[in-house]
A and B are shown apart, each in its own frame.
Chain A
Amino acid sequence: MLRFENVGLRYGMGPEIVRDLNFSVAPQSFQFLTGPSGAGKTTLLRLMLLSLRPTRGTVHIFGQNAAQLSKRDVTTLRRRIGVVFQDFRLLDHLTTYENVALPLRAMGRSEDAYRSEVVELLRWVGLGDRMNAQPPVLSGGEKQRAAIARALIVRPELLLADEPTGNVDPGLARRLLRLFVELHRLGTAVVIATHDLQLMDQFGFARRLVVGDGKVAIFDGSPG
Chain B
Amino acid sequence: MTGTAGEDQFALGPLPATRRDMPLIPGDSVAGRALVVVIAIMTFLACLTAGGALLVAHASQFWRSDVLRDVTIQVKPGAGDDLDLLVAKVVSVASRAPGVEDVRPYSKAESEKLLEPWLGGGLDLSLLPIPRLVIVHMRGQGAEDLAALKAALAPEVPQANLDDHRLWAARIGTMANAIVVLAAALFALMMLAMGTAIGFATRGAMAGNREIIEVLHFVGASDGFIAREFQSHFRRLGFRGAIIGGSAAVAFFFAASALSVWWARSPGGEEIAAMFGAFSLGPTGYGALALVGAAVTLLTGFLSREIVVRQLQTLQ
Pairing of A with B = yes
* Residues in chain A within 8 A of chain B (CB atoms): 49, 51, 53, 71-72, 75-76, 78-79, 83, 85, 89, 91, 93-95, 97-98, 102-103, 105-108, 111, 113-117, 119-121, 123-124, 131-132, 150, 152, 154-155, 186
Q: Are A108 and B12 in contact (CB under 8 A)?
A: no
CB < 8 Å neighbour of B19 from A98, A120, A152: A98
Q: Are B1 and A75 in contact (CB under 8 A)?
A: no
Q: Is B147 an interface residue (CB 8 A)?
A: no
Number of residues from B at the complex interface, CB < 8 A: 30
CB < 8 Å neighbour of B12 from A75, A95, A119, A132: A119
Tell me how far the C-beta of B47 lies from the nearest C-beta in chain A, rounded to whole angstroms. 33
Question: Which residues from A are CB-within-8-Å of B19?
Answer: 95, 97-98, 132
Tell me how far the C-beta of B11 lies from the nearest C-beta in chain A, rounded to whole angstroms. 8
Question: Which residues from B are CB-within-8-Å of A89?
Answer: 211, 214-215, 218
Question: Which residues from A are CB-within-8-Å of B310?
Answer: none
Most A Cβ at <10 Å: residue of B19, B212, B218: B218
Most B Cβ at <10 Å: residue of A51, A75, A105, A116: A116
Question: Which residues from B are CB-within-8-Å of A124?
Answer: 1
Q: Are A116 and B218 in contact (CB under 8 A)?
A: no
Tell me how far the C-beta of A155 lies from the nearest C-beta in chain B, rounded to whole angstroms. 7
Q: Are B8 and A117 in contact (CB under 8 A)?
A: yes
Q: Are B22 and A71 in contact (CB under 8 A)?
A: no
Most A Cβ at <10 Å: residue of B1, B220, B221: B220
* Residues in chain B within 8 A of chain A (CB atoms): 1, 5, 8-9, 11-12, 15-22, 24, 26, 211-212, 214-223, 225, 316
Q: Are A83 and B218 in contact (CB under 8 A)?
A: yes
Q: Are B211 and A53 in contact (CB under 8 A)?
A: no
Tell me how far the C-beta of A63 lies from the nearest C-beta in chain B, rounded to whole angstroms. 18
Q: Are B221 and A94 in contact (CB under 8 A)?
A: no
Q: Are A106 and B216 in contact (CB under 8 A)?
A: yes
**Can you sample 30 A-B contacts with CB below 8 Å?**
A51-B218, A75-B217, A76-B220, A78-B217, A78-B219, A83-B219, A85-B218, A89-B211, A89-B215, A91-B212, A94-B22, A94-B24, A95-B18, A97-B18, A98-B22, A102-B215, A106-B220, A106-B225, A108-B225, A111-B21, A115-B18, A116-B5, A116-B9, A116-B15, A119-B18, A120-B1, A132-B19, A154-B220, A155-B1, A186-B1
Tell me how far the C-beta of A24 lies from the nearest C-beta in chain B, rounded to whole angstroms. 22
Q: A91-B215, A150-B219 are in contact. Are A111 and B12 (CB under 8 A)?
A: no
Q: Compute how far the CA of A8 lies from the CA of B214 in the bound complex, rounded to whole angstroms.
A: 24
Q: Compute how far the CA of A155 lies from the CA of B1 in the bound complex, rounded to whole angstroms.
A: 9
Question: Which residues from A are CB-within-8-Å of B22?
Answer: 93-95, 98
Question: Which residues from A are CB-within-8-Å of B211?
Answer: 89
Known: A106-B221, A117-B1, A152-B1. 5 other contacts (CB 8 A): A75-B222, A103-B220, A111-B21, A116-B9, A131-B16
Q: Compute how far the CA of A108 lies from the CA of B219 in the bound complex, rounded to whole angstroms.
A: 12
Q: A91-B24, A111-B20 are in contact. Are A120 and B8 (CB under 8 A)?
A: yes
**Nearest opposing residue in chain A for B212, CB measure:** A91
Q: Compute how far the CA of A93 lies from the CA of B220 in the bound complex, rounded to whole angstroms.
A: 20
Q: Compute how far the CA of A45 lies from the CA of B212 in the bound complex, rounded to whole angstroms.
A: 20
Q: Are B5 and A49 in contact (CB under 8 A)?
A: no
Question: Which residues from B are CB-within-8-Å of A117?
Answer: 1, 5, 8
Q: Compute how far the CA of A53 lies from the CA of B316 in the bound complex, rounded to whole angstroms.
A: 9
Q: Compute how far the CA of A124 lies from the CA of B11 in the bound complex, rounded to whole angstroms.
A: 13
Question: Which residues from B are CB-within-8-Å of A83?
Answer: 218-219
Question: Which residues from B are CB-within-8-Å of A49?
Answer: 218
Tell me how far the C-beta of B52 lies from the nearest C-beta in chain A, rounded to whole angstroms. 42
Question: Which residues from B are CB-within-8-Å of A132?
Answer: 16-19
Tell me how far the C-beta of B176 lies from the nearest C-beta in chain A, rounded to whole angstroms. 52
Question: Which residues from A are CB-within-8-Å of B24?
Answer: 91, 94, 102, 105
Tell me how far the C-beta of B150 lies from the nearest C-beta in chain A, rounded to whole angstroms. 76
**Nearest opposing residue in chain A for B312, CB measure:** A71
CB < 8 Å neighbour of B18 from A91, A105, A131: A131
Q: Compute how far the CA of A76 lies from the CA of B16 in the bound complex, rounded to whole angstroms.
A: 31
Q: Compute how far the CA of A38 lies from the CA of B150 in the bound complex, rounded to whole angstroms.
A: 102
Q: Are B9 and A75 in contact (CB under 8 A)?
A: no
Question: Which residues from B are CB-within-8-Å of A102?
Answer: 24, 215-216, 219
Question: Which residues from A are CB-within-8-Å of B15?
Answer: 115-116, 119
**Nearest opposing residue in chain B for A102, CB measure:** B219
Tell me how far the C-beta of B225 lies from the nearest C-beta in chain A, rounded to whole angstroms. 6
**Nearest opposing residue in chain B for A74, CB measure:** B217
Tell me how far the C-beta of A39 lies from the nearest C-beta in chain B, rounded to whole angstroms. 22
Question: Which residues from A are CB-within-8-Å of B8?
Answer: 116-117, 120
Tell me how far the C-beta of A71 lies from the nearest C-beta in chain B, rounded to whole angstroms. 7
Q: Compute how far the CA of A85 lies from the CA of B219 in the bound complex, rounded to whole angstroms.
A: 11
CB < 8 Å neighbour of B220 from A75, A116, A123: A75
Question: Which residues from B are CB-within-8-Å of A150?
Answer: 219
